[in-house]
Amino acid sequence: MKEQLAFIGGGNMARSLIGGLIARKSESARIVVADPASQQLTSLRADYGVRTTDSNNEAVAHADVVILAVKPQQMRAVVTGMAASLLPGALLISIAAGIQASAIRQWSNGAAIVRCMPNRPALEGCGMTALYATAEVSPAARELAEVILSAVGATLWVDEESHMDIVTAVSGSGPAYFFLLIEMLEQAGASLGLSRDISRKLAIETAYGSGCMARAAKEPPSVLREQVTSKGGTTEAALRHLEAQNVRDTFAQAVAAAARRSAELAAEFGGQ
Ligand SMILES: NC(=O)c1ccc[n+]([C@@H]2O[C@H](COP(=O)([O-])OP(=O)(O)OC[C@H]3O[C@@H](n4cnc5c(N)ncnc54)[C@H](OP(=O)(O)O)[C@@H]3O)[C@@H](O)[C@H]2O)c1
């Protein structure tokens, strides 16, 4: 990557993206990070050799790409505060939940915007990020955004910005659903007589293995489920119980609640 990158905010997400980029041989000299917390900057310098500053304006002054990695409630002040220092043609990539691209475009006096929704496993390099680009973003800039976000896992594009609320409900909040499932499986095994440690390991490794299988398979997950459910067997006994309790409806309603909440939060922080 030949471009100069500026990270505004040097917290958890910025750190994992920077770590991913450096691991993929991006030059640390091309990366500058701005954050008000000097401790944060010292450790980023020590760990990755990137340049740092406490001035957002200084960070963006020579940046082709600016990654906005601050909390949603900080976004408006951050973008309006540095708008005058942006290079003409700079690409802004926002990873903040809920903030609309049109709002960032207005605050930045018309920059090209890519909006992303990564998820927590990005911190382990196995995230899932959905991206959305406004019409002004060139194909080359889209590709650049994808290269940057793919440093921490898988990526895909959505064509409609309103779909970002659904993305938030599915993959943004999704890790919590899987943690709950692991937690419940651990609890169930322990209630039936296994030790906590044994039950937890069984649950975690089974989640990991199932994820690996689902990822590698050509068949959809429904077919994989059928393949591991023999007639009259143990798995069928469990699944029949779950279906009788309307687990599908409950889950669909839960994800819909998350999507509604995402839209509410977007209205609160992301409006113009
Ligand atoms: N973590 C996730 O799983 C996840 C997933 C998807 C999306 N996101 C999005 O990613 C963004 C960052 O999340 P995070 O978890 O990395 O948060 P974080 O760890 O709190 O990082 C935000 C950083 O921005 C700094 N900051 C605050 N005001 C600033 C300013 N005016 N100029 C420059 N930097 C400033 C903060 O410093 P102080 O600590 O001193 O305030 C902090 O170091 C959020 O918008 C979040 O919605 C996160």
In this prediction, residue 271 carries a pLDDT of 58
Name the residue among 111, 125, 194, 192 with its Cα closest to residue 153.
125
Atom of ligand 1 nearest to the CA of 74: 28
What CA–CA distance (Å, rounded) separates 110 from 159?
20
Which DSSP category does 37 fall into? -
What is the arrangement of strands in the sheet containing 112-117, beginning at the earlier edge strand? 51-53, 31-34, 5-8, 65-68, 91-94, 112-117, 127-133, 153-157
Name the residue among 242, 228, 123, 120 with its Cα closest to residue 181.
242
- Pocket lining: 97 vs ligand 1, CB cutoff 6 Å: yes
pLDDT in tens, the chain (272 residues): 788 999 999 999 999 999 999 988 888 889 999 999 999 999 999 999 999 999 999 999 999 999 999 999 999 999 999 999 999 999 999 999 889 999 999 999 999 999 999 999 998 899 999 999 999 899 999 999 999 999 999 999 999 999 999 999 999 999 999 999 999 999 999 999 999 999 999 999 999 999 999 999 999 999 999 999 999 999 999 999 999 999 999 999 999 999 999 998 888 876 54
In this prediction, residue 181 carries a pLDDT of 98
In this prediction, residue 258 carries a pLDDT of 95
- d(CA 122, ligand 1 centre) in Å: 14
Q: Work out whether strand 5-8 and strand 65-68 pair parallel, antiparallel, or are unpaired.
A: parallel
The pTM of the full predicted model, rounded to 2 decimals, is: 0.91
Ligand 1: residue of 18, 35, 100, 149 to mutate (most ligand atoms within 8 A of CB) is 35
- Pocket lining: 129 vs ligand 1, CB cutoff 6 Å: no
What CA–CA distance (Å, rounded) separates 53 from 12?
17
Which residue has the least CA distance to atom 21 on ligand 1?
11
Beta strands in the chain (DSSP E): 5-8, 31-34, 51-53, 65-68, 91-94, 112-117, 127-133, 153-157
In this prediction, residue 272 carries a pLDDT of 47
Which residue has the least CA distance to atom 20 on ligand 1?
11
In this prediction, residue 234 carries a pLDDT of 97
Name the residue among 47, 43, 41, 42 with its Cα closest to residue 21.
47
